[in-house]
Amino acid sequence: MNFRESTLIAKWHRRLWLLLQSERRLSFYLRGNRARVLGLSAFGDMVKPTSYATVARLRELRIRTVMLTGDNQGSANAVARELGIDEVRAELLPGDKAAIVQELRNDGNVVAMVGDGLNDAPSLVAADVGLSMSRGTDVAMEAAGITLMRGDPRLVADSFDVSRRTYAKIKQELFWAFAYNVLGIPLAALGMLNPVIAGAVVAFSSVNVVTNALYFAAAAATDVSSIQVA
């Protein structure tokens, strides 16, 4: 084998390695010489089946998804494409993740960070809302504001959904409380409101509160007991 042939084979090995790195969600280790491939090892984690539903649900909620990972760029890009994640930042140190979270906040975004590792703690603290899995490290759970008691990624989307509907109901309750007082107090002060009617209005307002509370039991998309707020 002459030098030119050896060089071409070496370049082919290099191209094969780059192709594997860019197209797969695994990290590959290629061993060989100028004549042949001697071995190929692959390392990586499988994506949880529930992750697909999680990202799809976040998209329905119009939540932008960004992956921050310390893995290599090729593996991260492959996983992001498979799940449909909007943006990916790879080969990051813990401090890099926290800096990106702060950068997103400085751009006017409300940022929620999900992580379960020791290296996620700084970014969990830097985010507006930090979410950690109960199976994660103690440091991550301490840094997060919300702990998901089951290791199910779908609880992430459910927690956002529950919080949005809770906030909407709070605003609704405040509106009715304000309306009752604006109408009732002047009428009572002028002697135009019968005490019996006033009592009935107060009772009705309490029924409204209870009805809204029961709404979550009937319409919630998750088992709320699986979400613990710190």
What does the pLDDT look like over 124-160, one tens digit per residue? Answer: 999 999 999 877 778 888 888 888 888 888 999 988 8
Say if CB 51 and CB 154 are below 8 A apart.
no
**Size of the chain, expressed as the number of residues it contains:** 230
Q: Are residues 36 and 59 in the same domain?
A: no
pLDDT of 7 reads 44
Q: Are residues 61 and 145 in the same domain?
A: yes
Cβ proximity of 193 and 164 under 8 Å: no
Q: Pairing between strand 66-68 and 37-43?
A: unpaired
Distance CA 122, CA 115 (A): 10
Q: How far is CA 1 from CA 5, 33, 123, 197, in A?
A: 6, 13, 54, 102
Residues 61-73 have pLDDT tens digits of 999 999 999 988 8
The verdict on 105 and 193 lying in the same domain is no
**Higher-confidence residue: 41 or 211?**
211
Neighbour count for residue 198 (Cβ, 10 Å): 15
* N-term to C-term CA, the chain: 67
Q: What is the pLDDT of residues 23-59, one digit of tens each?
A: 556 666 667 666 666 776 766 667 888 999 999 999 9
CA atoms of 178 and 51, how far apart (whole Å): 42
Domain membership flag for residue 122: yes
CATH of the domain at 149: 3.40.50.1000
**At CB < 8 A and 24+ separation, what contacts does 76-83 make?**
77/22, 78/22, 78/23, 78/24, 78/25, 79/25, 79/47, 82/25, 82/47, 83/47, 83/51, 83/52, 83/55
- Domain annotation covers residue 226: no
Kindly state whether residues 132 and 164 are assigned to the same domain. no
Tell me if 83 is assigned to some domain.
yes
- Considering the domain boundaries, does residue 94 fall inside one? yes
Domain count, the chain: 3
Tell me, yes or no, whether 26 lies in a domain.
Answer: yes
Instruction: Tell which of 121, 155, 189 closes a domain.
Output: 155
Same domain, 125 and 35: no
Lowest model confidence (mean pLDDT) among 14-23, 106-115, 129-138: 14-23
Q: What number is the average pLDDT over the span 80-99?
A: 93
* Residues 6+ away with beta carbon under 8 Å from 144: 115, 124, 130, 131, 132, 230
Mean pLDDT, range 76-102, rounded to an integer: 92
Of the three residues 155, 177, 210, the one that is the final residue of a domain is 155
Range of the domain at 31: 7-43
pTM for the whole structure: 0.68
In this structure, are 22 and 78 located in the same domain?
Answer: no
Q: Let me know whether 71 and 134 are in one domain.
A: yes
